[in-house]
């Protein structure tokens, strides 16, 4: 039995003792038998493609509930729809904080929404653990600030700063890489990836010869691709959401760009490949950060797939096929959140929860490529990952570096 599973069983066995232990807790969102969790995300609108992140976390908490909860308390999950719109996100968060009185808010895809709700959560001391990438959400590293991170805001996943750094590191492992182009949205999310990547590339003696914009909603990347092609670059970083990344890959193939394109984590690798719909446009061309210890569908991740398919409803799962990358991303966010409750013990408050999260050191969640470390000075838990790609035959390969397969 793995160390990870022994920990979970320890929590389940402790539940019977905890049920005898005392009266209801005074902490908001906590009773003797429950912990109320706010789970917000784009359950409607064009950005609903990101809601598998929400469902992955939900699946893990339902799994823990089925095992008896954490010290006798089960998760009462309240959903809030943000539609990836700041005004709607603020309204959803305030309803959870002031009306639902949740203990914490989690998942929260869409960086703009996360930044918009942050002031309310910081003011009210409501913990937040999310998957939004903007480095300004949880810490000073890569955010342009200094000093301690916001007390109640943390990632048990990478943020854009560390993900962007790994994009830069990956492309620089390609031999003789000297010139790079960047295509990015003009928002904090995109710059949170591409600015650290650019800094790393330049620190290695290479040059970003073009840093061009592609606005959200763009349906044509001809101008960007022709500019890139004229520069004779060795690689392209695409800090783009999924729809625009698909457009870029199609245009790159159409105009025979013939250089690798590295995507940020605003897209699901498998869905991008499917939506591009042309093997020649992606095989050996498209690469993207891979957060997991092995391929989706591999034996190493089978336990996670079983949780997802057992604890999510038909409407929450993909219409066809197995759970995709974003489900697993949400799953390991949920694992980190639950680990905080396990470490905080029965006498649960927001302060004891944060203190517990800050004890994570080299924590193996049994799913991610990197291990989780959070300290009082650093509230971003994971700083590294692998990369996905397809070989010339269309077979998925996980890379540690350029031309360096994981297996």
- 392 found inside a domain: yes
51 occurs within a structural domain: yes
Kindly state whether residues 19 and 127 are assigned to the same domain: yes
CA dihedral 61, 62, 65, 66 (to 10 degrees): -140
Give me 329's structure tokens: 């991303």
In this prediction, residue 18 carries a pLDDT of 43
pTM assigned to the model:
0.91
Is 390 domain-assigned?
yes
Quote the pLDDT of residue 179.
98
In a domain, 376, yes or no: no
pLDDT in tens, 281-333: 999 999 999 999 999 999 999 999 999 999 999 999 999 999 999 999 999 99
42 and 130 share one domain: yes
Position 402 scores a pLDDT of 96
| pLDDT given at position 13 | 43
In this structure, are residues 181 and 273 in contact, taking their beta carbons and an 8 Å threshold? Answer: no
| Same domain? 49 vs 72 | yes
Q: What is the pLDDT of residues 64-83, one digit of tens each?
A: 999 999 999 999 999 999 99
The answer to whether residues 184 and 216 belong to one domain is: yes
pLDDT tens digits for 126-173?
999 999 999 999 975 555 445 689 999 999 999 999 999 999 999 999
Mean pLDDT score, 370-391: 94
Q: Which residue has the higher pLDDT, 21 or 136?
A: 136
In percent, how much of the chain has pLDDT > 70?
92
21 and 147 housed in the same domain: yes
189/258 same-domain check: yes
Q: What is the pLDDT of residues 164-212, one digit of tens each?
A: 999 999 999 999 999 999 999 999 899 999 999 999 999 999 999 999 9
Tell me, yes or no, whether 26 and 150 share the same domain.
yes
216, 185 contact by CB (below 8 A): yes
Per the document, the length of the chain is 407
Query: Does any domain span residue 75?
Result: yes
Predicted pLDDT at 197: 97
Question: Same domain, yes or no, for 265 and 398?
Answer: yes
Q: Which domain holds residue 310?
A: 3-158+294-357
Q: Is the pLDDT of residue 23 over 50?
A: no
Q: Look at residue 96 and tell me if it is in a domain.
A: yes
- Give domain status of residue 39, yes or no: yes
Write the pLDDT tens digit of every residue in 238-280: 999 999 999 999 999 999 999 999 999 999 999 999 999 999 9
List, in order, residues 6 or more apart from 48 with CB less than 8 Å away.
42, 83
28 backbone dihedrals φ, ψ, rounded to 5°: -60, 135
Convert the pLDDT of each residue in 85-107 to its tens digit.
999 999 999 999 999 999 999 99
Query: Are both 136 and 166 inside the same structural domain?
Result: no
Residues 42 and 118 in one domain: yes
Residue 52: pLDDT band with limits 50, 70, 90:
very high
Q: Where are the alpha helices (DSSP H) in 293-395?
A: 302-311, 325-344, 350-357
Q: In this structure, are 151 and 11 located in the same domain? A: yes
Could you give the number of structural domains in the chain?
Answer: 2
Q: What is the CATH number of the domain that holds 219?
A: 3.40.50.2300
**Mean pLDDT, residues 355-361:** 97
Contacts of 85 (CB under 8 A, 6+ apart): 45, 113
Residue 377 placed within a domain: no
β-pair type (286-290, 104-107): unpaired
- Shared domain for 254 and 394, answered yes or no, is yes
Predicted local distance difference test score (pLDDT) of residue 148: 85
């Amino acid at each position: 039995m793995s160390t990870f599973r022994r920990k979970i069983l320890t929590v389940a066995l402790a539940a019977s003792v905890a049920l005898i232990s005392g009266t209801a807790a005074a902490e908001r969102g906590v009773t003797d038998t429950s912990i109320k969790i706010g789970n917000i995300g784009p359950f409607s609108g064009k950005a609903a493609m990101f809601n598998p992140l929400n469902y992955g976390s939900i699946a893990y908490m339902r799994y823990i509930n089925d095992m008896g909860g954490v010290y006798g308390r089960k998760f009462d999950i309240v959903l809030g729809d943000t539609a990836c719109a700041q005004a709607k996100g603020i309204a959803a968060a305030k309803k959870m904080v002031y009306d639902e009185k949740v203990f914490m808010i989690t998942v929260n895809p869409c960086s703009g929404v996360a930044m918009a709700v942050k002031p309310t959560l910081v003011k009210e001391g409501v913990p937040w653990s999310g998957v939004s990438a903007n480095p300004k959400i949880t810490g000073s590293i890569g955010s342009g600030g200094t000093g301690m991170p916001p007390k109640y805001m943390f990632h048990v996943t990478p943020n854009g700063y560390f993900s962007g750094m790994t994009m830069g590191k990956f492309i620089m492992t390609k031999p003789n890489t000297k010139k790079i182009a960047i295509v990015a949205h003009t928002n904090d999310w995109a710059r949170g990836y591409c600015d650290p990547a650019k800094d790393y590339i330049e620190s290695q003696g290479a040059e970003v010869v073009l840093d061009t914009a592609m606005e959200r909603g763009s349906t044509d990347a001809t101008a960007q691709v022709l500019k890139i092609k004229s520069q004779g670059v060795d690689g392209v970083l695409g800090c783009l959401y999924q729809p625009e990344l698909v457009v870029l890959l199609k245009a790159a193939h159409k105009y025979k760009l013939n250089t690798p394109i590295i995507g940020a984590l605003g897209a699901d690798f498998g869905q991008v490949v499917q939506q591009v719909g042309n093997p020649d446009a992606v095989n050996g061309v498209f690469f993207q950060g891979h957060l997991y210890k092995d391929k989706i569908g591999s034996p190493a991740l089978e336990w996670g797939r079983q949780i997802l398919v057992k604890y999510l409803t038909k409407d929450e799962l993909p219409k066809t096929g197995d759970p995709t990358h974003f489900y697993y991303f949400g799953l390991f966010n949920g694992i980190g959140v639950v680990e905080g409750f396990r470490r905080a013990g029965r006498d649960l408050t927001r302060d004891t929860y944060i203190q517990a999260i800050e004890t994570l050191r080299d924590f193996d969640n049994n799913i991610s490529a990197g291990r989780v470390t959070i300290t009082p000075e650093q509230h971003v838990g994971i700083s590294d990952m692998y990369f996905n790609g397809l070989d010339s035959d269309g077979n998925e390969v996980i890379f540690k570096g350029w031309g360096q397969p994981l297996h």
